[in-house]
């Protein structure tokens, strides 16, 4: 069993930062649409990077061993997000592609400016995906994993 020690931080993952460059990342084949593409890091095969204009816009993982900065993991209950997050900066967004009562996202903004945050995708009261990123990318295309493409 592989040990996952790195967490999704408020502003990045491991040595990668939201808004940072892509030198150590490899573009995923056939993922490019204009200035947007998916990328991977050779050391963390479960982590995906969404790139816009050659900068990291979103970092996500679907692995249930990875945790957000406050210890929330895939499979955790929605209640845990409310317990561990600052409710003042928590925002619920309905997923237009699913049952609005069962499928939605909770975005834990880093501050009141809502420029960056951590998004938890929820299905039937459980976390199914976690990502950190910039405002307009976290709000864009709320289909499960929130792909830009």
Residue 89 contacts by C-beta under 8 Å, 6 or more apart in sequence?
A: 108, 109, 110, 111, 112, 114, 117
Bridge partners (DSSP) of residue 9 are: 12
Residue 64 contacts by C-beta under 8 Å, 6 or more apart in sequence?
A: 73, 74, 75
> Is residue 140 predicted with pLDDT exceeding 80?
no
| Alpha-carbon gap, residue 2 to 106, rounded angstroms | 28
pLDDT in tens, 64-114: 888 999 999 999 999 999 999 988 999 999 877 778 788 999 999 998 899
| Alpha-carbon gap, residue 10 to 76, rounded angstroms | 18
> Is residue 2 predicted with pLDDT exceeding 80?
no
In the chain, the N- to C-terminal Cα span, in Å, equals 32
Give φ, ψ of 134 to 5 degrees: -85, 155
Q: Which pLDDT score, from 0 to 100, does residue 3 have? A: 43
The pTM assigned to this predicted structure is 0.86
């Amino acid at each position: 069993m592989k040990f996952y020690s790195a967490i999704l931080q408020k502003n990045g993952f491991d040595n990668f930062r939201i808004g940072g460059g892509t030198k150590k990342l490899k573009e995923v084949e056939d993922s490019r649409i204009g200035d947007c593409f998916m990328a991977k890091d050779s050391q963390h095969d479960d982590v995906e990077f969404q790139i816009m204009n050659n900068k990291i816009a979103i970092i996500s993982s679907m692995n249930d061993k990875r945790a957000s900065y406050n210890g929330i993991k895939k499979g955790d209950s929605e209640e845990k997000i409310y317990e561990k997050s600052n409710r003042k900066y928590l925002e619920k967004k309905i997923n237009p592609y699913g049952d609005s009562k069962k499928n939605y996202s909770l975005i834990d903004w880093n501050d009141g400016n809502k420029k960056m945050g951590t998004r938890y995708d929820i299905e039937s009261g459980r976390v199914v995906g976690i990502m950190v990123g910039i405002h307009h990318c976290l709000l864009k295309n709320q289909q499960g994993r929130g792909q830009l493409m």
